[in-house]
Amino acid sequence: MEYAVEHAVGPDALGANLDGNTYVWVVTHYENYGYEGSGYGAALRKDGIVEIACLSHCSCNDPSDDWHCGSAEKIPLNEFLIYDEVDPNVPGRKRDEKDCDYALWKAICAKVRELQKVQ
């Protein structure tokens, strides 16, 4: 099986192994702490939908379970590209540099924009 190309923008690579027949690429910001880890990822499907996965886990889960179990959030690419500016969980709230996930979303969205220019 051929896998979608993974682009790690965080401290650790994930190894999401997403099916290359479904996904174009995956961008992850992941940090592995041994028996647990945390982060987020965005995977572009070939139909133009981005699947967003929470990569937080403990030793009893795989960090990429959201993708493999179908529970990742699915949104159009153009809606995803504002995630570095606004908090989708709080309507109307702009991200702030003091937010704990500010740098994470900046890094993911910057890489996604870079990848879109290449396609």
Strands 73-76 and 37-45, how do they pair? unpaired
Residue range 27-56, pLDDT digits in tens: 999 999 988 889 999 999 999 999 999 888
- Please list the ranges in the chain whose pLDDT falls under 50: none
Parse the chain into domains and list their residue ranges: 5-118
Q: Answer positive or negative: Cα dihedral of 106, 44, 94, 13.
A: negative
Residue from 26, 3, 8 nearest 104 by CA: 8
CA atoms of 63 and 58, how far apart (whole Å): 8
List beta partners, residue 40: 29, 54
The reported pLDDT for the residue numbered 45 is 95
Q: What is the pTM of this model?
A: 0.89
The reported pLDDT for the residue numbered 89 is 82
The reported pLDDT for the residue numbered 16 is 86
